[in-house]
Structure 1
């Protein structure tokens, strides 16, 4: 690959990589560049390339990829958000391909612990939505899903409740566990995918001891629900 094509590939990767925010990205020399500056560099590289096909197709594809990622960021991907409106929670869980919802109460210490770990995973698994909902704000969902023990983390895939974590039973049943333990458990459910990466490059290693601590298996909780207007 020529140096020009290598430069184009590197710039394109930086522009289209998933992440919680693309407003600033570190350049090779440590400086910060926003998307517009990076795109200007990429455009110049492509315009100077001798490959006609690259010039014709390259920018359009990058623009489409950037727009898709922009829309995902605007809809909350890469963040761990609290949703107050119950119908909005239902809408998100029904329409997102993958969604993790933490049902919490402010009086429960273990809910705070779960928040910390989910907040760490949200920017890493950009294609999965991560939400937290206060149980008193979503009484219909609490009853419909049978949420009785907190914290309760429900995993939705294509609008269907596929799995759930009840308390810390599947996490060693102790307050101090690695983020990797929760990550491995969610990965087993299919709600997060291993090949996804965040722009920080952080990877949580999962040791054999962590795997042994995860005692629960995904439950057959195929529960599809809609909320009538």
Structure 2
């Protein structure tokens, strides 16, 4: 290896350290929170996404948040978000959300699927593998023309 400028090594190390710090930040990042109902409505028009409607006071919502944070990186083409159900009365009414946690699946501006509560996630204990399987089997992966 022929090094013409010893400073090149420090530049490479600096670039590597920045990259490493960025990757660590990405890996530690949790699912983003949507702050307003208007923002959620706008986002559903353009993104393929799963939205966790939750409330802080529900233990089941805390469990769902924890499990989603573990698996969302396995679904590269889907963005995951969370929003407090209480700040989006129009959407919760339109989607008839009565049980939390509620996962809403959106694609190309359409509501295409849902997971209500821990339905099908295990009788006694929540099973994260079943959550992942439900997402994999959902309509979010199907073309819109097959869903309509």
1:125 match: 75
Structure 1 CA distance, aligned partners of 2:57 and 2:147?
A: 27
2:31 match: 80
RMSD over aligned CA atoms reads: 2.6
Which is worse superposed, 124-133 or 138-147? 124-133
Structure ranking higher on relative contact order (CA contacts 8 Å, 6+ apart): 2
Query: Structure 1 pair 183/146, CA: closer, same or farther in 2 (3 Å)?
Result: same
Structure 2 CA distance, aligned partners of 1:89 and 1:174?
A: 33
More helix per residue: 2
2:45 match: 94
- Report Cα offsets for 1:165-205 as digits up to 9, x if no partner: 1111121244431x222111001014369xxxxxxxxxxxx
Structure 2 CA distance, aligned partners of 1:107 and 1:221?
A: 34
- Give me the TM-score of the superposition, normalised by structure 2: 0.72
- Give me the TM-score of the superposition, normalised by structure 1: 0.48
- Number of equivalenced pairs: 123
5+ residue gaps, structure 1, are 1-26, 36-72, 194-219, 223-229
Match for residue 188 of structure 1 among 125, 137, 144 = 137
Q: Do 1:113 and 1:175's aligned partners in 2 also have CA atoms closer than 8 Å?
A: no
Structure 2 CA distance, aligned partners of 1:144 and 1:81?
A: 23
